[in-house]
Amino acid sequence: MHLNKRPLAALAAAFVIAASGCSSTAPARSASRGVTSPPTASVSQRPSIEPTYRHVVAADHELASKAGLEMLERGGNAVDAAVASSFALSVVRPYSCGIGGGGFMMIHLAKHPRLTGLPRTIALDYREFAPSWATPDAFTKPPLRDDPLASTEGAHAVAIPGTVAGLLYALENYGTLPRDVVLAPAIRLAEEGFPIDADHARVVNGKNVKGFFERHPAYRARFAEFRRIYDDGNTNRVGAILKQPDQAKALRLIAKDGASAFYNGPITDAIRATLKADGVAVTASDFINYAPKELAPLETRFRSRRVLTFPPPSSGGIVISQVLGMIEARKSEYDRFEYASADATHYLTEALGHAFADRSRHLADPAFVPVPVLALTSATNIRDLAGRIDMTRTQPAESYGSRLTSAGAQELRDAGTSHLSAVDSFGNAVACTETINLEFGSMLVVKGYGFVLNNQMDDFTTRPGQANAFGLRQDERNLPAPGKQPLSSMSPTIVLLDDQGKEEVELVVGASGGPRIITGTLQVMLDSIIHDIPASRAVAQPRIHHQWMPRTLTIEADLAGAPDVGGTVASILGKRGHDVKVGSSECAVQAVRRSPRDRNRFEAGSDPRKGGKPAGQ
Ligand code: GLY
């Protein structure tokens, strides 16, 4: 389907000019457009030049995609591939995710040699838990009250990691290959090393590593182990080889002994010792008690499709369901908006305003506080929210959000998360998003095992009334508590389409980038489902971001400068009251989509902003 009712020659020209203005040598994420051709009305009519695959992994690093493909080529399924890619990402994207972090995996199983009762979709939650010291007032009383960096740097920022438990749970229950086979590519990459790419060098040379140590020279000694491995004066150069023999030791132990090596064994002891040396006593039972959870996916219908998104403690599924619902609630009007027009952008922004206001007020870990999922996503509520969108203007902050009965920091560290999408030729699919929160997490590296520990505690409402590192203001429902999981934006999503009586995977998608995960994932979904834009182009399109608070609408330059009736998209939105900032998406989306032209094959896209590449056959 395509919606443009008039030729967009002028818009097309604007995109071409803006794209050709990008320096090819600029770092991948700031030269973020990557738009090689304009999103015109004819996108769906052109013969596809998009490569297609019978099985494929799209990760945000090509070597991680290849680790997954290696499993698929051995006859493994999408779960084997996703687990191999995830362990490889721990090595090749150590600033984004890894065995010191946590994640969410959406698994759609259509066929499995051991399992019956398929098809079935599982939302596997292996997000970090708060350790037992983390009481609700931990960050508002001395000594943490007086340390503004306590929730982002060092041992107090670290929650109990879930990645190893989650990946091995997925492998044992839904994969098909042995543990040592699936871990082999990651071990190889850690031992033999891999070349630093542009995104990696950007992070090490940027405000959050180089800049951080310039601003806080006293922390050089505190994070000496981090600096020895990841900031040694060599590993900030594109092409330099990064070897991680210590992390290889951890991965070998996990391959040999399974999750017990990490939760009740030598790696546990090393993590506890590392935290202790930085002033925090975490108990052995904090680790022994870690267990991943199987959740029921949130389900919503959109354009005759079944959209399976992640439930709380993710906020992503609810926000995505609400926004898709608001688009459907005024479908005939929305479908008259030109692609990438001021009207389409305004409607999406206002819908995001409502959904992010709800995120801020109502969402948290449902194991600890009531979360009104049904009320927030009910048809009546969605109709009410959609009806309150005024196409002529934006509104004051307090008018957004559900009517239920009952300045953020701009120094973003945007890449502390990674998403991969995988499909096999058996009909199975995995959308997997993992994180250590901000870039290089807490900067604490486990002595002897060389991996970075997360700083996921900052995703809690550590200081009520104050925004976190992503500028998110969150409710006291999201205060920390022992064993509680912080609210997340990770949104691994699988879309199923009924094709002649048989439901098939149509789209596997997700992103990194804090709250931008949600807006990036949504926009690629809309591009793919409504506008039929192939996966590799959908992930590269210019995007917007709005999260209700702060009241800023970020628009990537190619879209901001695109001409529309009466001005550019940015100038028209400015006149409607939006506080428009032209800036980068700070989000990387990976998507796999069933080819509309050959239903046995898939398109795949890794976001050019982060420099990833899919690998498939
Ligand atoms: N730490 C990013 C997220 O989970 O939203």
Q: How confident is the model at residue 472 (pLDDT cuts 50, 70, 90)?
A: confident
Pocket of ligand 1 (CB under 6 A): 417, 435, 437, 459, 488-490, 514
Specify the residue with its C-alpha closest to ligand 1, atom 4.
488
190, 603 contact by CB (below 8 A) = no
Tell me what pLDDT residue 4 has: 33
State which of 490, 516, 518, 519 you would mutate to test the pocket of ligand 1, scoring each by most atoms of that ligand within 8 A of its C-beta.
490
Report the alpha-carbon distance of residue 443 to residue 437 in Å, rounded: 11
Q: What is the pLDDT of residues 35-77, one digit of tens each?
A: 223 333 333 334 458 999 999 999 999 999 999 999 999 999 9
Task: Output DSSP code: residue 364.
Answer: S
Report the alpha-carbon distance of residue 422 to residue 614 in Å, rounded: 9
Specify the residue with its C-alpha closest to ligand 1, atom 3.
488
Q: What is the pLDDT of residues 428-461, one digit of tens each?
A: 999 999 999 999 999 999 999 999 999 999 999 9
Closest atom of ligand 1 to CA, residue 456: 1
| Stretch 533-545: mean pLDDT | 97
Residues found in the chain: 617
Report the alpha-carbon distance of residue 426 to residue 176 in Å, rounded: 12
| Stretch 470-482: mean pLDDT | 91
Q: How far is CA 409 from CA 147, 456, 548, in A?
A: 16, 17, 14
Considering only CA atoms, which of 213, 211, 201, 170 is closest in space to residue 71?
170
Q: How confident is the model at residue 492 (pLDDT cuts 50, 70, 90)?
A: very high
Q: How confident is the model at residue 29 (pLDDT cuts 50, 70, 90)?
A: very low
Neighbours of 240 (CB within 10 A): 16
Ligand 1: distance of its center to the CA of 462 in Å?
Answer: 14
Active-site annotation holds for 417? yes
Specify the residue with its C-alpha closest to ligand 1, atom 1.
437
Q: Which residue type occupies 4?
A: N
Considering only CA atoms, which of 413, 401, 418, 450 is closest in space to residue 549?
401
> Which residues lie across from 504 on neighbouring strands?
497
Report the alpha-carbon distance of residue 596 to residue 462 in Å, rounded: 46
Q: How confident is the model at residue 501 (pLDDT cuts 50, 70, 90)?
A: confident
Ligand 1: distance of its center to the CA of 435 in Å?
Answer: 7
State which of 432, 489, 491, 512 you would mutate to test the pocket of ligand 1, scoring each by most atoms of that ligand within 8 A of its C-beta.
489
pTM: predicted TM-score of the whole model, two decimal places = 0.92
> Which residues lie across from 289 on neighbouring strands?
none
For residue 82, with 0-12 CB atoms within 10 Å meaning exposed, 13-18 middle and 19 or more buried, which class applies? buried
Considering only CA atoms, which of 438, 386, 447, 369 is closest in space to residue 409?
438
Closest atom of ligand 1 to CA, residue 486: 4
CATH 1.10.246.130 location in the chain: 9-22+295-413+492-616
State which of 434, 459, 587 you would mutate to test the pocket of ligand 1, scoring each by most atoms of that ligand within 8 A of its C-beta.
459
Q: How confident is the model at residue 405 (pLDDT cuts 50, 70, 90)?
A: low
The structure tokens 């969410």 sit at: 104
Tell me what pLDDT residue 49 has: 83
What is the side-by-side order of every strand in the sheet holding 602-606?
Answer: 298-302, 305-309, 493-499, 502-512, 588-594, 602-606
Report the alpha-carbon distance of residue 12 to residue 35 in Å, rounded: 11
Neighbours of 296 (CB within 10 A): 10
Bin 427: left if φ > 0, else alpha if -120 < ψ < 50, else beta.
left
598, 52 contact by CB (below 8 A) = yes
Tell me what pLDDT residue 397 has: 96
* CATH code linked to domain 9-22+295-413+492-616: 1.10.246.130
Report the alpha-carbon distance of residue 245 to residue 87 in Å, rounded: 15
Report the alpha-carbon distance of residue 79 to residue 165 in Å, rounded: 14
Ligand 1: distance of its center to the CA of 436 in Å?
Answer: 8
Report the alpha-carbon distance of residue 14 to residue 577 in Å, rounded: 24
Measured in Å, how far apart are the chain's first and last C-alpha atoms?
28
Tell me what pLDDT residue 468 has: 87
Report the alpha-carbon distance of residue 338 to residue 473 in Å, rounded: 33
Report the alpha-carbon distance of residue 603 to residue 591 in Å, rounded: 8
Ligand 1: distance of its center to the CA of 437 in Å?
Answer: 5
